[in-house]
Amino acid sequence: MEIELTWPAVADERLRAEVHEVLHAVVAAGGAIGWRRPPGRAETDAWLDGVLGSPRDGALVVARVDGVLRGTATWRRSESEVFRHMAEVRRVAAHPAARGLGLGARLVGAVVEHARTAGLEVLTLGVRGNNHGAIQLYESLGFREWGRLPNVIAVDDVRYDDVRMYLPLGHRDGVVLHGSAPGGLGSSPRRTAVGRR
């Protein structure tokens, strides 16, 4: 079995059909990749156009197993000016017929290296709280949980935690890490309690 990862720059008809088939099958099998119902072709085409339409702001990696597209993953840069050094990992998906081949680890590992090469400093991602296998995979690649919003992912009448994770990729020379220290832009002094005894 041969597994090949590639970074498409344009979406031809073949890529569109293959990506749709993977994303549709993953959601139909219960996969948590951002759609409540299996997406239609127009939805996956629009998503693909958004990812490939601004190459400075993101990238798509696909995994082919013996020449057949079986997995996807992306990184997307934050739109906010103060967070442009960060990106989010999205739509990590392996076709149900290709489970157990390690595609998730290969895809996310490739995204991490690609993002590092692009000069990003931090990757983030969100994962459904009950997706323990994915959380374990991300942790094995160095991601750590930084927060959890309880019961905010809605799938019909069922609610799930949104587990937020991050991976530091390193800072360029000259970056000052101010953290939460007092002083600097946007700083305000601590307030004392009024009327307390």
DSSP string, 81-116: GGGTTEEEEEEEEE-GGGTTSSHHHHHHHHHHHHHH
Percent of the chain at pLDDT above 70? 98
pLDDT at 196 over 70: no
pLDDT band at 195 (very low <50, low <70, confident <90, very high): low
Residue-averaged pLDDT of the chain: 94
Write down the pTM of the prediction: 0.90
How far from 116 is each of 17, 78, 127, CA to CA, in Å? 30, 15, 21
State the Cα–Cα distance between residues 147 and 124, nearest whole angstrom.
11
In CATH terms, is domain 3-168 a member of 3.40.630.30?
yes
User: Given this model, what pLDDT does residue 132 score?
Assistant: 95
What confidence tens digit (pLDDT) does each residue in 6-30 have?
999 999 999 999 999 999 999 999 9
pLDDT band at 93 (very low <50, low <70, confident <90, very high): very high
What confidence tens digit (pLDDT) does each residue in 45-83 have?
999 999 999 888 999 999 999 999 999 999 999 888 888
DSSP H or E run through 27? helix 13-28
